[in-house]
Amino acid sequence: DFPAVTETAGSSFTLDVSLANHGVPPKRIALALEGLPDGWTYEFDGDGKPIRAAMVGPGQTRDITVKITPAKEAAKKAYQLTLTGTGADEKLSLPLDVTLAAPAPAALKLEAKLPALRGSAKSNFDYDLTVKNDSPQDVTVNLAARAPAGFDTTFKEQYGSQELTSVPIKANQSKDLKLSVKPPQDVPAGQYKVLVGMNSGKAQAETPVVLDITGQPQLALVGPGGMLSGSAIAGKEHTFSVTVNNNGGAVAKAVKLSADAPSGWKVDFDPAKVDQIPPGGKAKAEMRITPASNAIAGDYSVNVDADGDGASDDLKFRVTVETSTAWGFAGLGVIGVAVLVMAGAVTRYGRR
């Protein structure tokens, strides 16, 4: 296909040729390569096997590969060779120009398909990479990524799950890889660069990738005066103040307040929903708790939740329930009546 080529000195190379029969009876064609300098060798291959001749029927074409091995000390210059095919009554020839040149220096090329990705600190930052061994020798390429402190980086094959630290690449071939970068959950919004590096010992390549991290809300619930407990009377409403802080780097939106309390209790909030809380801001709400009227004195747990778009928090609020004083007075009244009944009984029957 290419009768004039440049090849690397000191290495074997191949040439692909075709032998076609344009409508004449089948012929046996003996193959040869003429004009080889001393110390050079050659071989013909057909269908993966060494051959010395080919038989081609009418309208048929045979694909043949010529493998040429120059002498180790062959000079780096141009050579004129002739490929011949000899039949019973004819001889075919194809001039070949072969130039031997110094080996190309080892080189690596590295590209990222999408070098900049955007998302929150919880997003997946996966970069598709292609590394090419642009040299005549097979190499093993070491993989590295220099990222900001706290960022985790891993290399994998494009469609594999095995983590890699190095990868073999054949001469003049490419390999598709994937770099996954995981930022810290509390990283501030901003752009962060990761420098991806490949090194084969004789060649290296680098390319940067960028994480454009958007802020995200981070909710924190705080009880009244920073406390996580309070007291209430059975059957009576008591109000506690709660605060929702946004410690994140983005607006917290549609924050809803809710609670999980013991059976028979009533808990509601005013307001029950906050449209938005800016970064570094806070919102206050009144939590109204009414223990069940038959609640026994003691400590109870109320789970308070704040849920917004992409952020949430919860706290356990301990409520110490005290019984109503009315019940205390009723109890004293019962005790007093019992004492009077007993005294009357003693007066009436005590002397018998």
For the segment 150-207, what is each residue's pLDDT rounded down to a tens digit?
999 999 998 888 999 999 999 889 999 999 999 998 788 899 999 999 999 989 999 9
For the segment 220-250, what is each residue's pLDDT rounded down to a tens digit?
999 998 889 999 999 999 999 999 999 888 8
Domain boundaries, the chain: 4-101, 108-213, 219-325
Give 216: exposed, middle or buried? Use CB within 10 Å, 0-12, 13-18, 19+.
buried
Are 67 and 47 in contact, with CB atoms under 8 Å apart? Answer: no
Residue 32 token pair: 């040869």
The percent helix, strand, coil of the chain (3-state, each to 5) is 10, 55, 35
Residue 129 token pair: 């990479």
Q: How confident is the model at residue 119 (pLDDT cuts 50, 70, 90)?
A: very high
For 151, residues 6+ apart whose C-beta sits below 8 A from its C-beta are 181, 182, 183, 184, 192, 194
pLDDT at 350 over 90: no
Q: What is the mean pLDDT of residues 287-306?
A: 96
Helix or strand or coil: residue 349?
helix
pLDDT at 298 over 80: yes
pLDDT at 334 over 60: no
Q: Which residue has the higher pLDDT, 68 or 279?
A: 68
Helix or strand or coil: residue 339?
helix
Within 10 angstroms of residue 133's Cβ, the number of other Cβ atoms is 25
pLDDT at 326 over 60: no
d(CA 340, CA 59): 131
Question: Looking at residue 11, what is its pLDDT?
Answer: 87
Q: How confident is the model at residue 316 (pLDDT cuts 50, 70, 90)?
A: very high
Are 145 and 181 in contact, with CB atoms under 8 Å apart? Answer: yes
Question: Looking at residue 330, what is its pLDDT?
Answer: 46
pLDDT at 8 over 90: no
Q: How confident is the model at residue 275 (pLDDT cuts 50, 70, 90)?
A: very high
Within 10 angstroms of residue 148's Cβ, the number of other Cβ atoms is 13
| CA-to-CA dists, residue 316 to 221, 270, 303, 350, angstroms | 10, 19, 5, 59
Q: Which residue has the higher pLDDT, 9 or 167?
A: 167
Q: What is the mean pLDDT of residues 8-15?
A: 89
Across all residues in the chain, what is the average pLDDT? Answer: 90
Q: How confident is the model at residue 99 (pLDDT cuts 50, 70, 90)?
A: very high
CATH number of 4-101: 2.60.40.2310
| CA-to-CA dists, residue 205 to 139, 141, 202, angstroms | 14, 10, 11
- Alpha-carbon 10 to chain mean position: 44
d(CA 202, CA 344): 113
Q: Which CATH number fits domain 108-213: 2.60.40.2310, 3.40.50.10860, 2.30.30.90, 2.60.120.1140?
A: 2.60.40.2310
For the segment 253-273, what is each residue's pLDDT rounded down to a tens digit?
999 999 999 999 999 999 999
For tokens 């005549």, name the residue.
136
Question: Is residue 304 within a helix (H) or strand (E), and if so which, with residue range?
Answer: strand 298-308
Q: How confident is the model at residue 122 (pLDDT cuts 50, 70, 90)?
A: confident
Q: Same CATH topology for 4-101 and 108-213?
A: yes
Question: Looking at residue 282, what is its pLDDT?
Answer: 95
For the segment 132-146, what is each residue's pLDDT rounded down to a tens digit?
999 878 999 999 999
Question: Looking at residue 129, what is its pLDDT?
Answer: 97
Are 190 and 213 in contact, with CB atoms under 8 Å apart? Answer: yes
For the segment 54-83, what is each residue's pLDDT rounded down to a tens digit?
998 998 999 999 999 999 999 999 999 999
Are 68 and 37 in contact, with CB atoms under 8 Å apart? Answer: no
Question: Looking at residue 161, what is its pLDDT?
Answer: 86
Residue 91 token pair: 């001889």
Question: Looking at residue 79, what is its pLDDT?
Answer: 96
C-alpha torsion sign, points 180, 185, 187, 189: positive
Q: 156: closest CA among 166, 169, 170?
A: 166
Its CATH class, for the domain covering 219-325, is: mainly beta
Helix or strand or coil: residue 326?
helix
Show the DSSP H helices in 185-306 as ranges.
none
Torsion of CA 179, 180, 186, 188, to 10 degrees: 40
Question: Looking at residue 324, what is its pLDDT?
Answer: 67
C-alpha torsion sign, points 9, 12, 15, 21: positive
Residue type, 208: P
